[in-house]
């Protein structure tokens, strides 16, 4: 038993070190967003600052007013001085000045309103914050895209990697196992495809045939190489702050709802005792 345990942990460690691996047809695996950030006011404030400075140029968040940031412990003065652009009033919604027609011309698509993205990107089995957290950390240079950027989670995305200077330069190695059919014989052939994407987004592709008769399945494995690993780690923490803010923004009342829920349960518990006593009193003479 112990041996098996050691073997599996060794394997898990090996996969982690090598990067991420996923099967054909499946989307890129999501990294868990560190939820503790949701209760960290300093992180939420930093997230708000990042969001307003770097995302509101293209995206709106029109379900939220600037003065709601007071719920994150910011004073009206702090919001006015650090987060409001000259023409905005503290009671204004987080809208943007960019015209939809211009946006379409520049990016090919309209940058969507981000008020609810941390919720709308959730599925039955995966969480919305995990999606945004992974998305913001999987951009790579791609010379074949009009913006010069691509994304592992959101293939051929219209958004450039706006925070790239915070993350630093990274290159990507992809290793894919692929199936194809031999044109002459019509037989199944399996190959390994190595793709290297350098810091300019240029690809070098190498292929090698896998021995016939083996048992294979299609999969993709990626590995990032960062010039400055510490910078990438600091970037991850900044993105966690940003996602914490976006999660709060998608449901500013979440905390109140949970607190209220506790009181409702306490009430129901006490009420049950009374109801049970009353029930007993009613039936006492009948029985």
Q: Is 140 helix (H, G, I), strand (E, B) or coil?
A: strand
Min dist CB 156 to ligand HEC, Å, is: 7
Residue 86 near residue 281 (C-beta atoms within 8 A): no
**Closest to 82 in 3D by CA, of 59, 52, 108:** 52
Residue 133 near residue 155 (C-beta atoms within 8 A): no
Residues of span 225-244 touching ligand HEC by CB under 6 A: 242
94/190 with CB nearer ligand HEC: 94
> Which range of residues in 57-65, 77-85, 185-193, 274-282 is near ligand HEC by CB under 6 A?
57-65
Q: Give me Rg for the CA atoms of the chain.
A: 26
Beta-bridge partners for 205? 195
59: contact with ligand HEC by CB under 6 A: yes
Min dist CB 56 to ligand HEC, Å, is: 8
Min dist CB 251 to ligand HEC, Å, is: 16
57: contact with ligand HEC by CB under 6 A: yes
- DSSP percent split of the chain into helix, strand, coil, nearest 5: 45, 20, 35
72: contact with ligand HEC by CB under 6 A: no
Structure tokens at 184: 């002459």
107: contact with ligand HEC by CB under 6 A: yes
Q: Which residues 6+ apart lie within 8 Å of 148 measured at CB?
A: 141, 142, 160, 201
111: contact with ligand HEC by CB under 6 A: yes
The contact set with ligand HEC (CB under 6 A) reads 54-55, 57-59, 107, 109, 111-112, 114, 117, 121, 132, 135-136, 157-160, 162-163, 242
């Amino acid at each position: 038993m112990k041996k098996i345990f050691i073997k599996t942990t060794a394997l898990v460690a090996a996969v982690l070190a090598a990067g991420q691996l996923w099967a054909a047809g499946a989307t890129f695996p999501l990294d868990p967003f560190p939820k503790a950030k949701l209760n960290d006011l300093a992180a939420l404030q930093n997230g708000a600052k990042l969001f307003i400075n770097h995302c509101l140029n293209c995206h709106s968040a029109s379900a939220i007013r600037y003065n709601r940031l007071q719920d994150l412990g910011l004073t009206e003065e702090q919001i006015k001085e650090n987060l409001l652009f000259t023409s905005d009033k503290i009671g204004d919604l987080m809208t943007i000045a960019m015209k939809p027609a211009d946006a379409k011309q520049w990016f090919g698509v309209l940058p969507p309103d981000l008020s609810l993205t941390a919720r709308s990107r959730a599925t039955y089995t995966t969480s919305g914050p995990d999606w945004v957290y992974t998305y913001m950390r999987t951009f790579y240079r791609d010379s074949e895209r009009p913006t010069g950027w691509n994304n592992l989670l959101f293939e051929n995305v219209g958004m450039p990697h706006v925070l790239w200077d915070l993350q630093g330069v990274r290159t990507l190695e992809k290793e894919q196992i692929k199936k194809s059919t031999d044109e002459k014989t019509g037989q199944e052939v399996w190959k390994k495809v190595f793709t290297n994407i350098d810091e300019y987004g240029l690809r070098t592709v190498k292929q090698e045939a896998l021995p016939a008769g083996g048992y294979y399945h299609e999969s993709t494995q990626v590995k990032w190489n960062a010039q400055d690993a510490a910078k990438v780690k600091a970037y991850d923490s900044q993105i966690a702050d940003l996602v914490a803010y976006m999660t709060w923004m998608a449901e500013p009342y979440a905390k109140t709802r949970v607190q209220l829920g506790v009181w409702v349960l306490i009430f129901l518990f006490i009420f049950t005792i009374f109801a049970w006593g009353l029930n007993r009193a009613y039936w006492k003479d009948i029985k």
